[in-house]
A and B are shown apart, each in its own frame.
Chain A
Amino acid sequence: MLGRLRAWLDERVAWNEIAGFLAHKTVPLHRFSYWYFLGGITLFLFGVQVATGMLLLLYYRPTSNEAFESVQYIMTQVQFGWLVRSIHSWSANLMVFTAFAHMFSVLFLGAYRKPRELTWVSGMVLLFLVMGFGFSGYLLPWNTLAYFATKVGTDMVGQMPVVGHYLMVFLRGGEDVTGATLTRFFGFHVALLPGITTLLLAVHLALVQRQGISVPPAIDAEWKANPAARRDMPFFPNFFLREMIAWYVALGVLGALAALAPWELGAKADPFAPAPAGIKPEWYFLFMFQTLKLIPAKLGFIDGELVGLAAFGGAGLLWTLLPFFDRQGARFGRKWIVGAGIFALAYMSVMTVYAYWAK
């Protein structure tokens, strides 16, 4: 039966060719191989997001009058609605974490180097898209914290010179954060961002398959000196089954978080109420938020916040183009890039912890 199905598929989509590719695909086996799981875990969490997001869509209503109540209904009345919504929220946060961890592991293992520049660039854009998912999704329950976090976030966009105001009005669907903003963010969150992300994810995965798994420079040097030391693991089923174990662990963690710490809903947004004291964005924006808070209001004649935003924009752009600086004989080579990575990681960690404790 399976043989007949395989023959049927082979006639139509050249199945044996695909299976042959999978059978011959290998994963380098060395002391850093565990870092290879991070990309797969991020992919799994994205799948969880898509699945739970589709379930939430069955009940969610994207208007300022109904959004909060519909999420409340999901949490209290819909069978397992609390589980779906909590997993969606926790998974979103874990996905941001694993995406960042994946990015830093790729950086420290040197996997961004030629010929994998496009894989890195597509990965960086995917990371920005993940943050965009977080920002747009945060508003959808239409609660007080989300409302004011969106107000602050879009205000920052409005600080950009020349296009800032127009971009802010585009994001908000007007001058203020209103029901129009909610509808717009809903559109970004469930149509625009998933569409772009799916396409780019396909490109990212295709590039990984095309170029194979990168070997860290130190391991590569060891293996070149002693070719007999090289180890590889078949991707299917050996690595794939191990990846499945990692997915099951992620699923267990998600279930535990959802059951023990269901995602809070808070109070419904009231545009006429004053902003609550000590309002902060989601944890993955905290390092930027705290930096902008620490910059003086004026640096010379330039607005301090504008300088901060320009610095983050510039740093993000340079980070995306990082592989193009790491070339043979380049002035700022690998050591500089690893140093920058360590600094960035330390800065983000310290600022996030500082922002968490700061009043």
Chain B
Amino acid sequence: MPIGRNNGSGKPLRAIRGALRWLLAGGFLLAGTSLWAQAPNTCVDCHSVLDPPQKVTTEQFVTDIHAQKGLTCASCHGGDPTKDDDQAMSKAAGFRGHIKRSQVPELCASCHSDASYVHKFNPSLRTDQLSQYKTSVHGQRLAKGDEQVAVCTDCHSVHDIRPASDSRSSVHPLNVASTCSRCHSDAAHMKPYSIPTDQFAGYSVSVHHEALVLRGDLSAPTCTTCHGNHGAAPPGVASVENVCSNCHAFQAQLFDGSPHKAAFAAASMPGCVTCHSNHRIQHPTDAMLGTGPQSVCTNCHAQGDGGFKVAATTQEKLTSLDAAILRADELLDRAERSGMDVSQAKLSQTQARDALTKARVSIHSVTVDRIMQDVQAGSKLAEQNLAAGHQALADRDYRRWGLGVSVILILLTIAGLWLYIREIEGRSGSRPV
């Protein structure tokens, strides 16, 4: 027993223990952890002054969701925290002490798989974590005796577990990738499994990371969105498309009806990631089409085959529509800066942009006719808006000409009036200056 809580002179320790007990009670009152605060907890008295990994502080534990729901150290470790001597850690009190890694999933599941118990605290909490975990690569390896794989506490932490909705939680959507990367980016840790360790580096520069972290869109994907959380496993070649289609449904539907579907399957190439990659997914550009250096089409298609022509044609059509929209934008901005109202045309520009987006999505059908429908719809709008911009600038010029003519007429009238005044004042001397 490394903890010397009953040896040596008892008085100073008892005094420290007493003071800690008061501090503890105060902290708990503040945190609203009524149950834990009411009962003395001799475990924290000692463990708060121990060195890691035995160290567990009050500050740490009051933030734990379990403590906040009234659970104590004994709920997991057994024993009797109300006693302040060896009885607290006696076998008679059910003391289990340190929990072995291989036992962690079962221990957590003793409550989390018990629907009637868990639902007292949170009726919407799932209770299938253990069964899912057993299907995961982590769970299967643990069952085979590999204690290096992740168990519950590796992802959720141990004594300061927060709900996933808490942004400070290690399993909050914003933190999941860095939590996974603690092991998966560690080359030494991953060496026995012979899997790459660049997933996090790739994900960090991906469009999904940008959406999640930079734009704060919590619905954007992180590791668990594609791999699952408790049942984490890499999707197989055949199921990649199903994973992506959870969000990109329309693209997946078009891909299913395209000639690529059968061709990819025949070549054992996974859908989606063959062109877009997996973790390092960049914002798709028109340059990914066509036959240029950034083209992904040329990875399979060579000059002379049908796919090569389709790639060249679709890229040319998309870039020309994009350019037409930009031209109209530029002209409408110029007209707007001149004070002309072009709000209708600008609204129509958003429809042209929508058509371009739709055409880019239609690429997944790899059918020129279908893509051209959207391109033509967008081109028609862009042309109309360009004409509206020209018309607005022509109107501006017409107004300026009108102003010029009006100013000349006004000046002529003023001159006429002035001459008339001079004449009548000269004739009758009616201005007695």
By a beta-carbon cutoff of 8 Å, the part of chain A in contact with chain B is 29, 72, 75-76, 82-83, 231-234, 237-238, 241-242, 244-245, 248-249, 251-252, 255-256, 259-262, 264-265
Q: Which residues of B contact A233 (CB under 8 A)?
A: 431-432
CB distance from A235 to the nearest CB of B (A): 11
Q: What sequence of 0s and 1s flags, for each residue 392-433 of chain B, a beta carbon within 8 Å of any chain A beta carbon?
A: 000000011011001100110110011011001100001111
Flag if A237 contacts B424 (CB, 8 Å): yes
Give the secondary structure class of B's interface: helix
Given contacts A76-B344, A265-B343, contact A259 B433 (CB under 8 A): no
A252 and B410 contact, CB distance less than 8 A: yes
Bound Cα distance from A252 to B340, whole angstroms? 20
Find A260's partner among B343, B403, B432 (CB 8 Å cutoff).
B403
Using known A-B contacts A245-B414, A249-B414, A252-B406, determine if residue A234 contacts B420 with beta carbons closer than 8 Å: no
The 4 tightest CB contacts between A and B, nearest first, are A259-B403, A262-B339, A259-B399, A252-B410
Complex CA–CA separation, A264 to B410 (angstroms)? 26
Q: Please provide the chain B residues from 319 to 351 with a CB less than 8 Å away from any CB of chain A in the complex.
A: 339-341, 343-344
- A260-B396 Cα distance, complex, nearest whole Å: 8
| Chain B hits for A262, CB < 8 A | 339-341
In this complex, how many residues of chain B approach chain A with their Cβ under 8 Å: the count is: 25
A238-B430, A265-B343 known; A245-B425 Cβ under 8 A: no
Does A264 contact B424, Cβ atoms closer than 8 Å? no
A231 touches which one: B341, B421, B430, B433 (CB < 8 A)?
B433
Q: Which residues of A contact B433 (CB under 8 A)?
A: 29, 231
Chain B residues in 8 Å Cβ range of A237: 421, 424
Q: Is the CB of A255 within 8 A of B417?
A: no
CB distance from A340 to the nearest CB of B (A): 35
Complex Cα–Cα for A244 and B425 (A): 16
Other 5 A-B pairs with CB < 8 A, given A76-B344, A262-B341: A29-B431, A72-B341, A234-B430, A261-B339, A264-B339
- Complex Cα–Cα for A312 and B424 (A): 49
Task: For A245, list chain B residues within 8 Å (CB).
Answer: 414, 417-418
**C-alpha gap A72/B410 in the complex (Å):** 30
Which single residue of chain B is at the shortest CB-CB distance from A246? Answer: B414
Show the binding face of B for A, using Cβ within 8 Å.
Answer: 339-341, 343-344, 399-400, 402-403, 406-407, 410-411, 413-414, 417-418, 420-421, 424-425, 430-433
Please give me the residue from chain A that is nearest to B432 by CB atom. Answer: A231
Given A260-B339, A262-B339, A262-B340, verify A244-B407 contact (CB < 8 Å): no
Residues in chain A near residue B410, CB distance under 8 A: 248-249, 251-252, 255
Min CB gap A148→B, angstroms: 20
In the complex formed, the residue of A with least CB distance to B418 is A245
CB pair A232–B432 under 8 Å, yes or no, is yes
Taking CB atoms, residues of chain A closer than 8 Å to B425 are: 238
Give the residue among B340, B402, B410 with the most A Cβ atoms within 10 A: B410
In the complex the two chains form, what is the Cα distance from A259 to B400 in whole Å? 6
Complex alpha-carbon distance, A251 and B235, angstroms: 75
Q: Knowing A233-B431, A234-B430, A238-B430, say if A248 contacts B424 (CB, 8 Å).
A: no
B400 & A248 in contact (Cβ 8 Å cutoff): no
Whether the Cβ atoms of B339 and A255 lie closer than 8 Å is no
- What are the residues of chain B within 8 A of A260 when measuring CB–CB? 339, 400, 403
- Residue pair B406, A255 in contact (C-beta under 8 Å): yes
- Cα separation A241 to B418 with both chains bound (whole Å): 8
By a CB distance below 8 angstroms, the chain A residues around B406 are 252, 255
**Min CB gap A44→B, angstroms:** 14
What residues of chain B lie closer than 8 Å to A234, measured between beta carbons? 430-431
Q: Could you list 6 A-B pairs, sorted by A, with CB under 8 Å?
A: A82-B341, A255-B407, A256-B403, A259-B400, A260-B400, A265-B341
Nearest chain B CB to A19's CB is how many angstroms away?
Answer: 16
Question: Do B407 and A252 have beta carbons less than 8 Å apart?
Answer: yes
Q: How far is the CB of B337 from chain A (nearest CB, A)?
A: 11
Chain B residues with CB below 8 A from A265, complex form: 341, 343
Chain B residues with CB under 8 Å of A261's CB are 339
A244→B417 contact, CB < 8 A: yes
How many Å from the CB of A357 to the closest CB on chain B? 23
Do residues A238 and B421 form an inter-chain contact, with CB atoms below 8 A? yes
User: Which residues on B sit within 8 Å (CB–CB) of A249?
Assistant: 410, 414
Most chain A CB inside 10 Å of its own CB: which residue of B341, B343, B344, B417: B341
A248 touches B414 (CB 8 A): yes
User: In the complex, A83→B417 CA distance in Å?
Assistant: 26
